[in-house]
């Protein structure tokens, strides 16, 4: 045990739990590694519930100070807690994922403690520092203090090189969410929630809807909800499943205009394995989530992205996703176009699946774990995600 390298894995939000769970499992299989899961409390109990879906639990649980609501207060509280959490006992490396406040604080805490920082899902860029806010700024700052950049795609590597990151510190791994969503979608349904049980058993075509991004708070989310309400009236044979956000203000903004619609399902937060199964059988996703753009690609599922730009440009390039903004008329028109495709609502339409999923091949977590070993001098540099044919 003394030869094992203590690797702190920082998880603050549900997406981080999903995307880092496969990496933790791979590190647990390595004789040289001792992964220590550190939860920050940013998303509260839902993180522990999501980790439980993957058979994981935290070894270190931090709590946020009360009243940490603004981005600056949240980041300050996270940085203070993680500074202590990473040093007792000292970690040999710290792994952060994505672009959250927890990821930024974890990277800064590692840097300030002279601990090598590994950034999973490095190199995503929208090109607009204030959109998405504050995630785009977080990504750029994390890159400045990271020692190893695990890029999900070659486009992400190009972004890192443009920022001045040395090529020798970048490994193209694919995105670990592909590993996670495939694993979760294959689990048998053991559904205790009666609402989710009914949704899983329905034979109606499903559209999965989410809305949560900070730049969409307020009027944009209400317009997304209005668009879904219009579509539900136009297509009574379609079921619209609105996956709720934890923040009640965000949740209410989209749900208020949808309550009482017979073909709109408002089940509240959805466990990840159930979510993955629903995604696999849906005919369309309407979302502002970056992660869902990637997860949908695993199943060749068309996505309408309710944003003005996206850092997941590969889905756009491959025709898997379309940017539609947040205007009701634009969302409705784009959905109508998808539904008009032959067989779209019967499940018989040919999905626009690319020759190779641009976000990965389901082996990203293994490459991430091997890259950590390379950083710590325990194994050779791993092979990268194969080139597109």
**What's the length of the chain?**
389
Active-site option among 14, 157, 212, 277:
212
Q: Which stretches of 98-216 are assigned E, i.e. beta strand?
A: 117-120, 148-151, 170-172, 206-209
Q: Is 136 a catalytic residue?
A: no
Determine contact, residues 72/135, Cβ cutoff 8 Å.
no
Active-site option among 16, 135, 288, 370:
135
Q: Is 245 a catalytic residue?
A: yes
Q: Which stretches of the chain are assigned E, i.e. beta strand?
A: 5-11, 33-39, 60-61, 93-97, 117-120, 148-151, 170-172, 206-209, 239-243, 264-268, 284-287, 303-305, 321-323
C-alpha dist (Å) from residue 32 to 2, 115, 378: 9, 17, 7
> What sign does the CA torsion over 106, 160, 19, 293 have?
positive
Active-site option among 43, 138, 222, 245:
245
Q: Is 25 a catalytic residue?
A: no
The half-sphere exposure of 243 on its side-chain side, counting CA atoms within 13 A, is 21
Question: Crossing angle of helices 176-185/272-281, nearest 10°?
Answer: 90
Q: Residue 172: helix, strand or coil by DSSP? A: strand
Phi, psi of 257 (to 5 degrees): -90, 5
Q: Is 16 a catalytic residue?
A: no
Nearest to 53, CA basis, from 251, 204, 186, 215: 186
Environment class of 114 (CB within 10 Å of its CB; exposed 0-12, middle 13-18, buried 19+): exposed
Residues classed as catalytic: 99, 121, 135, 212, 214, 245
């Amino acid at each position: 045990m003394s030869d094992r390298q203590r690797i702190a894995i920082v998880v603050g939000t549900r997406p981080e739990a999903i995307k880092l769970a496969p990496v933790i499992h791979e590190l647990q299989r390595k004789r040289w590694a001792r992964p220590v899961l550190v939860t920050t409390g940013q998303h509260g109990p839902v993180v522990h519930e999501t980790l439980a879906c993957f058979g994981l639990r935290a070894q270190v649980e931090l709590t946020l100070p009360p009243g940490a609501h603004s981005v600056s207060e949240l980041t300050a509280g996270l940085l203070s807690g993680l500074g202590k959490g990473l040093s007792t006992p000292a970690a040999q490396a710290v792994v952060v994922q994505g672009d959250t406040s927890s990821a930024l604080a974890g990277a800064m805490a590692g840097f300030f403690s002279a601990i090598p920082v590994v950034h999973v899902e490095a190199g995503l860029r929208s090109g607009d520092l204030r959109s998405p806010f504050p995630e785009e700024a977080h990504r750029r700052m994390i890159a400045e203090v990271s020692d190893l950049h695990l890029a999900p795609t070659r486009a992400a590597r190009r972004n890192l090189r443009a920022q001045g990151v040395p090529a020798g510190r970048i490994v193209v791994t694919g995105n670990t969410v592909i590993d996670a969503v495939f694993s979760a979608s294959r689990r048998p349904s053991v559904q205790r929630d009666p609402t989710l049980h009914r949704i899983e058993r329905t034979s109606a075509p499903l559209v999965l809807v989410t809305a949560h991004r900070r730049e969409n708070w307020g009027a944009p989310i209400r317009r997304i909800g209005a668009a879904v309400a219009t579509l539900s009236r136009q297509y009574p044979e379609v079921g619209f499943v609105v996956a709720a956000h934890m923040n009640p203000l965000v949740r209410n903004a989209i749900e208020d205009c949808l309550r009482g619609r017979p073909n709109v399902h408002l089940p509240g937060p959805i466990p990840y394995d159930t979510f993955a199964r629903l995604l696999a059988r849906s005919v369309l996703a309407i979302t502002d989530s970056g992660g869902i753009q990637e997860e949908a690609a695993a199943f060749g599922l068309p996505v309408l992205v309710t944003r003005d730009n996206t850092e997941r440009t590969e889905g756009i390039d491959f025709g898997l996703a379309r940017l539609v903004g947040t205007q009701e008329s634009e969302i409705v028109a784009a959905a109508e176009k998808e539904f008009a495709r032959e067989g779209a609502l019967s499940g018989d339409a040919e999905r626009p699946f690319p020759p190779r999923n641009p976000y990965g091949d389901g082996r990203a977590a293994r490459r991430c774990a091997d890259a950590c070993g390379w950083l710590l001098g325990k194994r050779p540099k791993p092979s990268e995600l194969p080139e597109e044919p």
